[in-house]
Amino acid sequence: MENYFAVAEVCIPNTILDNLSFGINDQSIVRGSVVEVSLKGRKKPLLGLVLSVHKNFPKFKLKPATACGHVFSERYVETFLWCANYYMCSLGEALTAFWPVDLRKYLLSESGFSGFKDGQDICSAPVLTVEQRNAVDALIEMLHAANFRGALLHGVTGSGKTRVYLEVVREALSLGLKTLILVPEINLTPQTRKRFEDFLNCEIPILHSKLGAKEKRKTWQRLLNPHTPILMGTRSAILAPFEPQLIIIDEEHDASYKQQDPAPRYNVREMAFHIAHKYGALVILGSATPSLETYGNAKNGNLKLIEMKSRPGGLPLPKVIIADMKEERKKQDKDLMLSPILRDALSKTISEGNQAIILLNRRGYSTNRICEECGNPLQCTDCNVALVYHKQHDKLACHYCGKLFPTDIHCKCGSKKFAFFGSGIEKAEEEIKEWLPNAKVLRLDADTTSGLGTTEKLLQKFRDKECNVLLGTQMVAKGHDFPDVSLVGILCADIGSSIPDFRAGERYFQLLTQVAGRAGRFLENSQVIIQTFCPENPVMQFAIKHDYQGFSKTELTERQEAFYPPFCKITQIRIQAKDKQKLQMAASEAANLLGMEHGIKILGPAEPFVSKAQKYFRMVITIKSENPANIKNAIKNVLPKTPKGVDVRVDRDC
């Protein structure tokens, strides 16, 4: 022990540990250093992050830690520790999310920002509208201030929020401030990156989970250089070794900004607020349909509310037409998915040389295989969900675990007779091609975009007008800017409206509004046709009128009465086990213990919408409180009592 200069407390990724002690002889090793260590049972040395250095030598024999040459900043280390602490996971689990799989290759060399292109000025852009100019002026004024600043840029779809971002980022660069730009979907990065690069005349590194290894290493090596001024990416980019003074979260309402599994189950918005409060930064949240937490904060004065209520050039929002499928199905074969009104509008759109987007948020060909003897749907053997028939692969698929089954598999009752019911996106594609020979359909869903770069290529084909109908799941609703789209059709618009989740109405409104907003961004006389069996649904009525204020007022009133966010903080404890009886006992005991804690309200335990997935039975306990510290303290008192064989996952800000 006396052979070592000091002791380093080291966090190691891909473990559920917090930290381990190692001996060091190198005085260059400090908090934030990357070191190489050996663990018992591991053949190869591992990299770890030094959390502290001290001289309180333990009584046991220490293994050595060797410096690897890179030291992460204090801000990076503190943000990592805050994330693990707030989202209640081990330090090892958190570091697994913060670091790439093979950090060694990322530390070999460091390359920085290449700068603005020689001999070129920053690109010009269309003149700002009055609303855009006012928004830019307000945000630039906030940019020049100090400490935490937060703003909600609430603009209708097509109002030019990206144009505002461009001006603010240009000002940030001129001030020498670093900028992080976040988008909700990987497939939005190419178009967004191009707009920023063209406007600023510089290369922008990007970071998301589907980058090739070479490109991801290149981005990381740029970020390790402190002079790189700008980064663009999806959710995980908030964890990168980058220290922005301006954070832009576009389409901030999107559910993809919340990590589900594995831990840490972080919320990008909360991470951004922590960074901004701790280190002084401007956070801009942009959306046409803000989350009610964000809108509530803006209305209460915690965020500056900046509104843009019109589209540039005076273009109107698209006309919304409701196709009541109770009546439309009387006019034709009930098996047809497109109503006569939508089919006619689609035919006219194609003949005029314009494009259309059709949304159906349901993968596969048929959503149920029903036994003709007992009438039960065929379910996955590992999950309590119905199997979906995919004609493309001629297989039945579970959309929760990915397991595939042959189409002629027997029912549990022994019957071989079955029929397919419920229509998916594959069937819609088949119908459009059959009825409209001039339709050149491009399908965009998880089954057509599995390859690296496939989504980008397909979307580019649509932009280049090689196809005139883009048929897709919810991924077509998010932020895309297609100038020749004059028609949007929404099939089976009622999907998701009745899910037992307090956010179901909010997400339903957001989806309808966002996909409708893809129409008429550069064309007059655009229209949206919504096919529904429930046109009187109040959420749909708000969406038809593009009435976010009306929707939010109604929804916030209901949330306040039921004590849900933004009027409280909410955390879910998700409990699962292969033994159903053991699960029920553990969940009941946890709920009883939580019920003894003060300052919190408990709901459950209850079975979630999908009560079994990947062979694990599942239950959920929901905890609500005005004070998030009460929730955290209560959970800390309960978690250590979890029995063996039961998996407990804490999901804060869910």
The pLDDT value given to residue 10: 98
Burial environment of residue 457 by CB neighbours within 10 A (0 to 12, 13 to 18, 19 or more): exposed
Residues 6+ apart with CB under 8 A from 510: 253, 289
Among the listed residues 476, 393, 492, the one whose alpha carbon sits nearest the alpha carbon of residue 441: 476
The pLDDT value given to residue 622: 97
Q: Could you check whether the bond before residue 605 is cis, i.e. omega within 30 degrees of 0?
A: yes
- Tens of pLDDT, residue by residue over 224-256, are 888 899 999 999 999 999 999 999 999 999 999
Residues 6+ apart with CB under 8 A from 399: 363, 385, 388
Residue 158, CB-side half-sphere exposure with 13 Å CA sphere = 28
Residue 194, CB-side half-sphere exposure with 13 Å CA sphere = 8
Token pair of 574 as six digits: 């998700």
pLDDT < 70 stretches in the chain: 1-2, 109-124, 452, 520, 522
The pLDDT value given to residue 225: 85
Cα separation of the two ends of the chain: 46
Residues 6+ apart with CB under 8 A from 566: 292, 293, 296, 297, 556, 559
Residues 6+ apart with CB under 8 A from 355: 349, 462, 465, 467, 468, 469, 470, 482, 484, 485, 486, 487
The pLDDT value given to residue 120: 46
Cα–Cα dist 572/265, whole Å: 11
- Between helix 161-174 and helix 189-200 the angle, nearest 10°, is 50
The pLDDT value given to residue 232: 97
The pLDDT value given to residue 119: 42
Cα–Cα dist 433/125, whole Å: 39
Give the global pTM. 0.93
Answer positive or negative: Cα dihedral of 220, 81, 258, 151.
negative
For the chain, what's the residue count?
654
The pLDDT value given to residue 112: 53
Token pair of 509 as six digits: 């409104």
* Cβ atoms 5, 27 nearer than 8 A: yes
3-state class (DSSP) for residue 264: coil
Cα–Cα dist 241/236, whole Å: 11
Specify the long-range contacts of residues 401-406, CB closer than 8 Å, at least 24 apart. 401/613, 401/614, 405/378, 405/380
- Tens of pLDDT, residue by residue over 450-509, are 776 788 889 899 999 999 999 999 888 777 778 899 999 999 998 877 788 899 999 999
Phi, psi of 167, deg, nearest 5: -65, -40
Cα–Cα dist 150/290, whole Å: 14
* Cβ atoms 103, 47 nearer than 8 A: yes
Cα–Cα dist 334/316, whole Å: 34
Cα–Cα dist 496/537, whole Å: 13
